[in-house]
Amino acid sequence: MRGGDERSEGLFSYVSCEARVPANHPLRAIRAIVDEALEVLSADFAGLYSRIGRPSIPPEKLLRALLLQAFYSIRSERQLMEQMDYNLLFRWFVGLAMDAPIWDVTVFTKNRERLLAGDVAAKFLSAIISQARVQALLSDDHFSVDGTLIEAWASVKSFRPKDEGGPGNDDDGGAVASRGEQAATPTDRNAGRDFRGEKRSNATHASTTDPDARLFKKARGQAAKLCHMAHVLMENRNGLVVDAILTHATGTAEREAALTMLGRMEGRHRITLGADKNYDTAAFVAALREMGVTPHVAQNNTNRRSAIDGRTTRHPGYGLSQKIRKRIEEVFGWAKTCGTMRKTRHRGQDRVGWSFTLTASPSSHLDVLFAEEMSPKFRLVAGLLSEITGIPLGDPSLIRCAISVGAPCAVLFVGGRIPTPLTTQLMELPQDHLIDHLHTFAIAGLEAIARKRAG
């Protein structure tokens, strides 16, 4: 019998937000780790607020909300508040009751400066890393470093000579006359500019919108953009971020940031550091050796001699470091696509750096968090992958393989059910090498097999 399209609703609801969230939802595991980290920061939060006056929105709730913004790729804080008003999952994660009103979006703006002053993002990352369940997954000996560009929230038209007067807004019409173009009047908005024939550099020009942004490109043939440069230090065992920093975009920023992050490590003994060719300079390699760090940097033999030689590259660990260091691109990829950090929503190095550090803290740990509470579908996929490879189901590396994305893997995993010379060769590889191979394949083919078995 067809049911009626009832439009009325009950006057009272007897189901809480806690009951609405499934017991195996991934956010439950994430919230447990986040709450433990926020508890460590409680004393720091207390020092940022006055002891008298009207109670504020708890900073713990603000940080949980900002994590949701990164997890679910919400493009603005205004939209975040809109979704939190009607999304019970968001209310539960942040800690709002069913009938609790949401706060005004300007709360983020007013509290951001306070959290910046307390360096809360860096302390939050450190609090996650210091947890026992995460410490057990970290390598003490092998690390990788890399940098990426974060596009600034500023138009190229705002990049003007430093000695030019005028308002600091990139759509106020203060364009420079060039190649016969008449100067824009104050009433013009977003006036066009012709940059041909005009020499522009960071030494003579600056953005009137974001003075901390720099005109930069990482490779020949790419367009120069106003951007910041973000850097990450990753441990090599499970690819977890242990430090993050944001600097001006310069040709030496990656090497300078690497030395800064290494200098902040406590109780450090001799370690290895994997990096790309941009780090292969005599000064950087010498600085690493003085710090007791073995430089596993990629050799740059283009028109010059590499700063490292066979005494370093002959060891098997060098080749392994060069393979594993590429996992750091997963952090950047997640932060830019899911974490909406491809183009920042903030202006100023401090604000952008705070946002990147907060985004980097959950991005690299998602595989560990999801490992604790798997959905039935994901558990089936991981179980099949464990059966094929022999890697234990609870191994974080197996979880990394299962959630990775890349090229279709149907041939590899179908072949795993029917042995072939290719799959036999793969199965004979050491576990670390096998994990590295599986990392380049997507979950799509494996899911197809899992659905067939489940059906």
User: What does the DSSP assignment read for 47-84?
Assistant: HHS-SSSSPPPPHHHHHHHHHHHHHTT---HHHHHHHH
Q: What is the residue range of 317's domain?
A: 140-151+226-357
Position 8 in a domain: no
Residue 227 pairs in a beta bridge with 151, 214
Residues 6+ apart with CB under 8 A from 296: 272, 273, 274, 275, 312, 317, 318, 321, 322, 325
Are residues 171 and 146 both part of a single domain?
A: no
Indicate whether 411 pLDDT > 90. Answer: no
92: confidence class by pLDDT, cuts 50, 70, 90: very high
pLDDT value at residue 285: 95
Q: Domain end: 332, 357, 382, which one? A: 357
Q: Is the pLDDT higher at 269 or at 9?
A: 269
Position 63 in a domain: yes
Provide the token pair at 301.
Answer: 């033999």
Are residues 161 and 233 both part of a single domain?
A: no
Indicate whether 422 pLDDT > 70. Answer: no
pLDDT value at residue 327: 87
Compute the average pLDDT of residues 181-198: 58
Compute the average pLDDT of residues 343-358: 90
Question: What pLDDT digit, counting tens, does each position of 423-435 carry?
Answer: 455 455 555 555 5
Position 113 in a domain: yes
pLDDT value at residue 151: 94
Q: CA nearest 341: which of 326, 361, 324?
A: 361
Task: Count how many residues are written for the chain.
Answer: 455
Of 48-62, 187-201, 404-418, the least confident: 404-418
Indicate whether 91 pLDDT > 90. Answer: yes
Indicate whether 442 pLDDT > 50. Answer: no
Share above pLDDT 90 across residues of the chain, in percent, rounded to a whole number: 28
Residue 228's H or E segment, with its range, is strand 225-235
Are residues 353 and 445 both part of a single domain?
A: no
413: confidence class by pLDDT, cuts 50, 70, 90: very low
| Mean pLDDT taken over the chain | 78
Residues 6+ apart with CB under 8 A from 77: 69, 105, 108
232: confidence class by pLDDT, cuts 50, 70, 90: very high
Position 73 in a domain: yes
Position 292 in a domain: yes
Are residues 252 and 327 both part of a single domain?
A: yes
117: confidence class by pLDDT, cuts 50, 70, 90: confident
Q: Residue 311: which CATH number?
A: 3.30.420.10
Q: Please, what's the largest Cα pairwise distance for the chain?
A: 81
Compute the average pLDDT of residues 168-180: 38
234: confidence class by pLDDT, cuts 50, 70, 90: very high
Are residues 390 and 334 both part of a single domain?
A: no
Compute the average pLDDT of residues 146-162: 90
Residue reference for tokens 């950047």: 332
Indicate whether 196 pLDDT > 60. Answer: yes
112: confidence class by pLDDT, cuts 50, 70, 90: confident
Tell me if residue 447 falls in helix, strand or coil: helix
Tell me if residue 29 falls in helix, strand or coil: helix
Are residues 204 and 270 both part of a single domain?
A: no
Are residues 341 and 293 both part of a single domain?
A: yes
Quote the DSSP letter at residue 168: S
Share above pLDDT 70 across residues of the chain, in percent, rounded to a whole number: 73
Are residues 198 and 317 both part of a single domain?
A: no
149: confidence class by pLDDT, cuts 50, 70, 90: very high
Position 293 in a domain: yes
Tell me if residue 350 falls in helix, strand or coil: helix
Burial readout 146-184 (b: 16 or more C-beta within 10 A, e: otherwise): bbbbbebbbbbbbbbeeeeeeeeebebbbbbeeeeeeeb
pLDDT value at residue 284: 95
Rg (CA), the chain: 25
Burial readout 238-264 (b: 16 or more C-beta within 10 A, e: otherwise): bbbbbbbbbbebeeebbbbbbbebbee
- Give the integer Cα–Cα distance in Å for 160 and 180: 17
Position 411 in a domain: yes
Question: What pLDDT digit, counting tens, does each position of 245-284 carry?
Answer: 999 999 999 999 999 999 988 777 889 999 999 999 999 9
pLDDT value at residue 369: 57
- Give the integer Cα–Cα distance in Å for 343 and 356: 11
Of 88-92, 95-99, 229-233, the least confident: 95-99
Are residues 231 and 343 both part of a single domain?
A: yes
Using DSSP bridges, classify how beta strands 293-297 and 271-275 pair: parallel, antiparallel or unpaired.
parallel
pLDDT value at residue 370: 56
- Give the integer Cα–Cα distance in Å for 200 and 250: 15
Are residues 186 and 280 both part of a single domain?
A: no
Are residues 256 and 203 both part of a single domain?
A: no
Compute the average pLDDT of residues 92-106: 90
Q: Based on the structure, what is the number of domains in the chain?
A: 4
Are residues 279 and 310 both part of a single domain?
A: yes
Q: CA nearest 227: which of 282, 165, 167, 147?
A: 147
243: confidence class by pLDDT, cuts 50, 70, 90: very high
Position 215 in a domain: no
Quote the DSSP letter at residue 441: B
pLDDT value at residue 296: 94
Q: Is the pLDDT higher at 170 or at 164?
A: 164
Q: Is the pLDDT higher at 430 or at 15?
A: 15
